[in-house]
Structure 1
Amino acid sequence: MDTQSINFPNQRNRNVVLRFLHLYIISYVYLFIFTSQFSPLEGIYKNGVLWLCKNVFHQKQVEYIKMTGSGDTTLDYWVVIVNIGLAAVASLIILLADKKQRTFKDLHWFTVVVARYYVAMIMLSYGFAKLHNGQFPANSIGRLEEKVGDMSPMGIVWTMMGASTGYTFVSGLLETIGGLLLLFRRTKTFGALFSMTVMINVALLNFFYDVPVKIFSSHIVLFCVFIVIGDAIALYRFFVLHQPSQLRFQKRTSDKKWKRITLTGLKWLVVAFFILSSSSALFYTPPAVPMEGAYTVDKFIINNQEIPSNDSFGWKKLLISYPGRTNIILNNDSTKVFQSVLDTGKKTLMLRKIDQQDIYAYLHYNIQKDSIIFTGIKGSDSIKIKTIRKKKEDYPLNKRGFHWINEYPFNK
């Protein structure tokens, strides 16, 4: 009798803790989905968190910086902290209000479905973006001219991916496969394990190459863990204990035919929406760049006087790598960026300083056998520039190609 009186409260406490943790995880899943970068509520929620930061937590330096390309801003970390707190509060309220002490199995099942579809959407969108010139396009002339030591760690990743269309395509294909597997109950566990494996590599790149998507990629990995956790015991028995095991398969059907048809129709509408909305990246074609290349200056003549290469006033290179933009590298290695208008019919190149209307230089170009000559005016001065053009295919990074046999490693 004494043993029962001692063990019963302990068992009850353990049940309460487990139910709280269960509700906490479920609450956090919904909070993240409704406030992440793909949610229409993101802006409203971030403004609310910003208000809390400034007026409750007295974090005056926190700002809502939009369109930076970073998902790891100070405010993003505060969003995670607030989500952690709100998930705990929501779980506690539900736990106190639940007099029947339910296990919330149906809520868990539905949350797994929501998490599956959310991760599938992310995997498909990123996967399709890698299949064709989306997330990692071919390296620009500016990137090819950049010194490795001057690149950011993130720039190294983008250069590596942009240098290999095949590797980028396979990476996108794996993400797409993971997303498709998650859309169906029979393959959800395999899809979660598959996607988790792929996304762990992505998260590691984000962490160790300082790519500012650490929060988001980590959460996608954790979502995959959440999806697969219900089958953890079965997987452990099969892979570790080598015992016969079976994954759970919860087939939710209705006794009414119209409900079954409606649910099936809704599912396929969602699947079609995910695929169609993500596949737009497959049809993206980068704009053509007329006269694209790096133009190394052989001679720089101003007012009929040649400027020596050690004079910082002279030009070292012209880089035409994007439509409407030209970079000029001076002899002192400083770079000036200009708005440009290139007319291939008239063979002219007009340069303006950014956000200015005055013409910086107006040049005619003449293509010769081994060089391209630019002549024209720069301000009140006449200039003539003899250059050697280097195209994308002239760089060793691009022209090496694939080789089955290598007697020696090509590692310049």
Structure 2
Amino acid sequence: MSAIGTEVLERDREDVVDSSPRWSLPARIGFRFCFAYLLLFCLTFAQILFVFTGVAMRWLPESAIRWQMDVVEPVARWTGEHVFGVDAVIHESGSGDQTIIWVLIFCLLVVAAVVTVTWSVLDRRRAGYGALGGWFVTFLRLCLGGQMLWYGFAKAVPNQMPYPSLTRLLEPYGNLSMTEVLWNQVGASPSYQVLLGIAEVLGGLLLFWPRTATVGAMLSLVSMAQVFVLNMTYDVPVKILSFHLMLIALVVLAPQARRLANVLVLERSSEPATQPSLFRSARANRIAAALQVALGLWTCSGAVYTAGDSWHEYGYGAPKPALYGIWNVTEFTVGGHPLPPLTTEPTRWQRLVFDKFATSYQRMDGAFVPVLADVDTAAGTLTMTAPSTAPDVAPTRVATFTFERPEPDRLTLRGDLGGRPVTLALEEFDLNDLPLRGERFHWIQEVPDLN
């Protein structure tokens, strides 16, 4: 074979796997523990893997989506009861920091520690884990990329932090929890939320292409560090997941630590910070890179599809009710006798609020009472019921009214409230009179608007 042919053949069969020097003992032990723990974490938390189902997730049965928790829940419940003396059960609340999840993390740590000890004894002669490490980092990189796309599009659309509700705009600031303060702070500035989402989406997209994955991991690390700090300081119940996503970003960057230090800290020239190769053949690595990009595009399509649905279902694109707005009660008559607007009057209403997804009336003492409102614009009727306290309990009727709108900003209700005939005259409040809903940006400000 000619020298040129030999050179071409050798270039096509680059041996790029497991060429690293012998690993130190702490590095080998640390890799074994990280491999066991983070692999178990990603396989256990359903949302990490199911983002890759994309649009198909909508048609998956509930049993397919919950299979991880169906497997680990009994173990976590037993551990919670017998080790910690707590009742570790799943609450369908959306919180990611429930007791059962903390117990599950403990179980994963114990299993990972046992695996690390056993692995270290049985594989003590191993010099390093270059090949396995490459596959492991690739797996973590794709898992991190999926999460960045999912959460990023939830902000970029934006849906994750909706604009403060009408009821929230009327409540005293001191009544808000720390989480509500953060949610409303970000939700009040959609452009800021969109920029946060774009940063996360960009980091996620870059992670799916090996050539740009290092930059994507750096951007994801910065984004997740910010999210984790916000979750810790504003008591957002996603502390466990955000910490682990930040940790995964660090592990993905670990193989590039020396190269990054040379460029960013030591100001030395360095070879490109490329991701670990998976195969000996350059062609196989190119095919693997193409498959990773395809997976990223598929995951991106699922995130976009879900974000679009959320936009129309409960986001800015959701339709407003016919009587949307804040209505101040100017007259309140019971049995033909007007009730004065006194804070000690328990029957009289101060306001009636029709929001996108909730209706409530405000008593004279300032408390808001949520109700379910059924508005029939054709018949001109309004029926209010109290929300059910249990699935098998029928809702209790609060009031039944007929309504008229003599003018666009005037509303008259007549009907029955608690078995008594009532008549209400209401006037629509101009939402633009609220500073948060009024003029939102000024190029020139002589005095900061901090009042």
Give the direction of change, closer, same or farther, for the CA distance of 1:106–1:130 in structure 2 (3 Å limit).
same
Corresponding residue to 2:340 among 291, 308, 315: 308
Shift of 1:405: 1.5
Q: 1:252-279: per-residue Cα shift (whole Å, max 9, x none)?
A: 455496x568645533441232111111
Tell whether the 8 Å contact from 1:134 to 1:281 is kept in structure 2 after alignment.
no
Say whether 1:22 aligns with 2:31.
Answer: yes
Aligned to 1:408: 447
* Aligned equivalents of 1:411, 1:353: Cα separation in 2: 39
Q: Matched residue of 1:396: which SS? A: coil
TM-score (norm 1): 0.89
The one-character-per-residue Cα deviations of 1:173-220 (angstroms, maximum 9, x if unpaired) are 010001011111111111111111111111111000110011110111
SS in 1 for 2:164: coil
The two structures, once aligned, show a CA RMSD in angstroms of 2.2
CA pair 142-41 structure 1, distance change in 2 beyond 3 A: same
Counterpart among 54, 69, 73 of residue 46 in structure 1? 73
Matched, 1:396 2:427: no
Query: How many angstroms does 1:380 deviate by?
Result: 3.1
Runs of 5+ consecutive residues of structure 1 not aligned to the other structure: 1-13
> 1:7 maps to which residue?
none
Post-superposition CA distance 1:58-95 (Å, at most 9, x none): x3323212321111112221222221221111112122
- Residue matched to 2:325: 293
Which residue does 1:172 correspond to in 2? 197
Give TM-score scaled by structure 2 length. 0.82
Question: Are the aligned partners of 1:34 and 1:42 in contact in 2 as well (CA < 8 Å)?
Answer: no
**Structure 1 residues 292 and 394: alpha-carbon distance in aligned structure 2, compared to 1, 3 A threshold:** farther
Match of 1:9 in 2: none
Where 1:170 maps in the other structure, the secondary structure is helix
Which residue of the other structure, out of 115, 123, 133, is the alignment partner of 1:108? 133
- Greater RCO, CA 8 A, separation 6+: 2
SS of residue matched to 1:212 = coil
Match of 1:359 in 2: 397
Q: Which residue of 2 aligns with 1:318?
A: 352
Give secondary structure in 2 for the equivalent of 1:411.
coil
Post-superposition offset of 1:358: 5.0
Q: Give runs of aligned pairs for residues 190-209 of structure 1, distance below 5 A.
A: 190-209=215-234
Residue identity matched to 1:299: E
Q: 1:321-370: CA deviations, max 9, x gaps?
A: 144x4212211223322221011222321111223455321112222445
| Alignment check: 8 A CA contact 1:231 1:247 kept | no
Whether the 8 Å contact between 2:32 and 2:116 is mirrored in structure 1 is yes
- The verdict on how the C-alpha distance between 1:203 and 1:171 changes in structure 2, with shifts beyond 3 A counting, is same
Return 5+ residue gaps in structure 2 as ranges.
Answer: 1-22, 50-66, 389-393
Report the CA distance between 1:391 and its aligned residue: 5.4
Q: How is 1:245-324 mapped onto 2 (pairs within 5 angstroms)?
A: 245-249=270-274, 250-253=276-279, 255=281, 263=288, 266-283=291-308, 284-285=311-312, 286=314, 287-290=318-321, 291-310=323-342, 311-323=345-357
CA 261–18 in structure 1, closer or farther in 2 if over 3 Å, else same:
closer
